[in-house]
Amino acid sequence: MALNVESAEQVVELLQESMTKLVVVDFYSTTCPPCRIVDGILDELTSQYLTVAFYKVDVGRFAEVAAQCRITATPTLQYFRNARKVNEVKGANKKAIVDAIDASLTGGGSGGSGSGEARSAYGVTGHADVTSTVVKAQSECLNQNDDHPLENVFKGDESYLESDVDEQLVLHIQFNQPIKLHSIMLKAPLDKAPRNIKLFANRTNLGFDDAETTPETQAIEMTEEVYKSGGVVNLRYVRFQNVNSLTIFVADNLEDDDVTAITQLAFIGTAVNTANMSDIRQGEEGH
């Protein structure tokens, strides 16, 4: 049968477990009749999929965990490999639940089947899109236009982040666990696209003056050609091996415009095994 999660710390442990196998997490409510149907389905599947780990999270007891995982309805089952979500099923549809297990087991990585194709994200082979580890509530942007805030770069739609009083931006990005950051991906309108960028790993509370004078972890010059070819920039990987937070200083843009804009920002790399979901309060019932 599926194991009930009894603490927020156990969420960290199951993410670590997903580095070596498929982990299925059932987010349920004690007042939800379809959730009881899923209980029966998982009881059956645990004996069929012996290499898959099944867990249950009470959304009433662990509301912050549910919010971090963007649970909007119960039952919702999320499937994790390599510390990232690879699939999701809402409702008590047994076929959908089983199909998602099978798809997740054959989707690459080291879990479940014991072999699989190499992961790839935005054309970067061997690494995954780890943007889902960004803690949006703990991330911020200095000099943003409040009508076009930082959160827009993570939506994947036509919305965008835009600077306010001038072209410069300072983005403070917080991750919910340490990551090995291999590349970043930027999409932006070419007339307002960032050009000179400084990256600071694990340096918090940097303002504009600090960003201009503090030695960076890496400096990047974006070009029109880079944006047109997908906007992916490989980093000096050895310098980004244990990144809990990243500060991004945008100094100017391609057209020297007074406004800088970014439509999408993504991070490509690998979750470090010693995950630390610091954004989830280390509480018990009622948190």
The residues annotated with a catalytic role in the active site are 32, 35
DSSP string, the chain: -PEEP-SHHHHHHHHHHTTTS-EEEEEE-TT-HHHHHHHHHHHHHHHH-TTSEEEEEETTT-HHHHHHTT--SSSEEEEEETTEEEEEEESS-HHHHHHHHHHHHTSSSSSTTS--PPPEETTEET-EE-GGGB-GGG-EEETB-TTS-GGGGGS-SS--EEBSSSS-EEEEEEEEEEEEEEEEEEE--GGG-B-EEEEEET--S--HHHHHHSPPSEEEE--HHHHHTTSEEE--GGG-SSEEEEEEEE--BTT--S--EESEEEEEEEE-SS---TTS----TT-
